[in-house]
Amino acid sequence: MRDVFIVGVGQTPVSKETEVRGRHRAAAAVKTALAAAGLEPARVGALYVGNMMSGLLANQQQLGGLIADYAGLAGIEALTVEAACASGGAAARVGYLAVAGGAHDVVVVCGLERMTHVDRDTVTRALATAADQELEGAGGESFLSLNAQLMRAYMEKYRVRAEDFAPFAVTAHRNAVTNPNALLRKQIDVDGYLASRVVSDPLRLLDASPICDGSAALVLASADVAATLPNAPRVRVDASAAATAPLALSRRSDPLKLEAVEASTERALVQARIQRRDLDLFELHDAYTIMSILTLESGGFAKPGTAARLAAEGRIDLDGDLPIATFGGLKARGHPVGATGCYQLAEAYLQLAAAGGANQVRDAELALVQNIGGTGATVVSHVLRRVA
């Protein structure tokens, strides 16, 4: 397989702009990414769109062709990739396959979600389609209730207290303050976390990522094309790996072990030929604080029951040894579902390109980026490396 580079990214600010149609937002992200790469639309071979809920919330499917048209790429190969909240990462996976395999020299990956133009109940029901409808959704489970289940089980098993979850939210919010594309640019503290409303016991509002709109895009290119872009930072995709687990928690042997996180992380590290300690940052999928914890433990970054300590000790901060959510994460940058995986990759790219501004992780060279669908059912991991 050929080397694949990210040669440009485009982010629209995550927001709650109910009147902005998805096609226009996505087209803006694609155009920004192409301009950043310095590539004309005519150079693009394909567009892969990550989206989960446009059919359900906007009566619009076939986003591939639609966005290609509105982004000035009419005629090219285009399709939509869906893997619930991992749709953006899964679209990047397909983009990687197309460039690494030699089918295209340049592709654009665009994640998009629009959620704020409908009421909260409608969004909640739409999000629940990521769960097993027979075993979970039809019984009234939502992603709040499923994550609350996991959080409760974790707290009971490891005797962990509510305040132990707080540092994940606090860190994310701190990093969002200086990210112009973040939705929640507001510092919080542990007291604020503890005072926040319990929305599904024991899960608090500040354990959860917000409902929002967003689109982010990446331009992937072969080494040959990347070499013609002298001003582009050299950020290579050293691994692209996906894994799945049964959707329903009841079909897993141990719901507190995210087996797809374990498998996807392991595959990515092997592909990139690195160890966990080599990583300079980890853009993980902090849709809920419990997801951060289970990810760190299932991914082998902390022993079961101990991940909260990483946060308490500041090791996940920008100057820690494993920074996470460096631009605010899903928690505070926001989690526009199908777009999230592309925001994560765009942010990791900025870190490796030394373009992180106030959020820069010092000397960042190697990043793991992980996008999760459902309660760990689909996990897509990418390793990015800055090369000379």
Give residues in contact with a second copy (CB under 8 A): 1, 21, 23, 46, 52-53, 55-56, 58-66, 68-69, 74-84, 86, 90, 93-94, 97-98, 100-103, 125-126, 128-130, 132-134, 137-138, 240-247, 251, 259-260, 263, 373-374, 377-378
Catalytic residue among 85, 110, 212, 342: 85
Distance, CA of 203 to CA of 103 (rounded, Å)? 45
Classified as helix, coil or strand, 135 is coil
Phi then psi for residue 165, to 5 deg, are -85, -25
Distance of closest approach, residue 80 Cβ to a second copy, in angstroms? 4
Q: Among residues 104, 60, 106, 70, which one has the least CA distance to residue 338? A: 60
- Identity of the residue, 95 or 233, whose beta carbon is nearer to a second copy in the bound complex: 95
Q: Compute the distance between CA of residue 210 and CA of residue 194 in angstroms, rounded to an integer.
A: 17
Contact indicator for 111, 338 with CB cutoff of 8 Å? yes
Intra-chain end-to-end CA distance of the chain, in Å? 20
**Minimal distance, residue 301 CB to a second copy, in Å:** 21
Closest CA to 268 of 115, 380, 102: 380
**Tokens 């991914």 belong to residue:** 299
CB of 349 to a second copy, least distance (A): 22
- The answer to whether 85 is a known catalytic residue is yes
Residue 379 CB, nearest approach to a second copy (Å): 9
Residue among 104, 285, 335, 382 flagged as catalytic: 335
- Listed residue (58, 75, 192, 159) closest to 112, CA to CA: 58
CB of 230 to a second copy, least distance (A): 27
- Amino acid letter at 285? H
d(CA 297, CA 362): 25
- Quick one: 388 exposed, middle or buried, by C-beta within 10 A (0-12, 13-18, 19+)? exposed
Query: Residue 24 catalytic?
Result: no
Instruction: Decide whether 81 or 353 has the Cβ nearer to a second copy.
Output: 81
Catalytic site positions = 85, 335
